Amino acid sequence: MYVMCHLLSGLLLGILLSLPSGDRRLALACTLGAVLPDMVDKPLGLLISGTVGYGRIYSHSLAMWLVLIGVCVAYWAFSRRTTRSPGLFIALGLGFFLHQALDAMWLQPATWFWPLLGPFPPGEEIALIPYILADLLQPAEWLAGTAFLFLLAGLRGDVHPGVKISAGLSVLLGFSAFWLILCAAGGSLCPLTGWDSRGDNLVVALVLLGGAICIDWERGRVMPGGRLDPP
């Protein structure tokens, strides 16, 4: 998946994690974790091999996820006097793992279980500019990005700037998710992603559907004046 779908998926999981405590910082931490593997591996892979196709390496492995969990646990253990709750670190770790899950890293066992199965497999020859253009021109990315920005604005908890468009946006996301599911079921090329992969289209469909549900839920919490109901 591209960056906006990862951002939206991390924010959705983070909002879910924040419901019991009402601490919306968990949503931000989870969102950061959901894009952290690509923030590390894409530039590193480009530096090592000269192609962004070598962008699923260290941070897409379970070993690096365990290292992250270890660092978070150690930091929390030494800062318990000032950081009472480990919630932010848990959210960061869950977002990191979510990224690997949505990338279906179990289908690339040499990478996911690195270094147990040997070195990383060679990456595809993908130039940087075509990769960026493919991301920018994908309609599903625009939909995911719009949903992400809408929900991110809602984290402020005061006046929501997009209350009037929330119903239309949730319907659009739901329709797009249904379209993607149909394409995934038939194994056909979907114009929203430019992919014919059933698994990839289904994952994007689930992320967009989650965005539609969350936006509709946020709309239900907003009073007529555009302010969020108090928790």
Condensed to tens digits (0 to 9), the pLDDT of residues 112-147 reads: 999 999 889 887 887 778 888 888 889 999 999 999
Chain centre to alpha carbon of residue 48: 25
Distance, in Å, from the CA atom of 220 to the CA atom of 208, rounded to the nearest integer, reads 19
Please state which of the ranges 139-143, 161-165, 221-225 shows the lowest mean pLDDT. 221-225
For 28, 44, 62, 78, the CA distances from 74, given in Å and listed in that order, are 21, 26, 18, 6
Q: Which of 50-59, 94-103, 212-221 has the highest mean pLDDT?
A: 94-103
Domain segments of the chain as ranges: 1-126, 138-226
Chain centre to alpha carbon of residue 7: 4
In the block, tokens 């924010």 appear at 11
In the beta sheet, which residues pair with residue 190? 195
Q: Which residues contact 40 (CB under 8 A, 6 or more apart)?
A: 58, 59
In the block, tokens 């179990």 appear at 106
In the beta sheet, which residues pair with residue 227? 159
Q: Which residues contact 154 (CB under 8 A, 6 or more apart)?
A: 160, 218, 228
Average pLDDT over residues 63-85: 82
Smallest Cα–Cα separation from 68: which of 82, 86, 89, 40? 89
- Model pTM? 0.89
For 58, 141, 174, 189, the CA distances from 209, given in Å and listed in that order, are 30, 14, 5, 19
The token duo for 215 is 């936006």
Condensed to tens digits (0 to 9), the pLDDT of residues 144-153 reads: 999 999 998 8
* Residue 167 identity: A
Distance, in Å, from the CA atom of 62 to the CA atom of 112, rounded to the nearest integer, reads 6
pLDDT category of residue 187 using cuts at 50, 70 and 90: very high
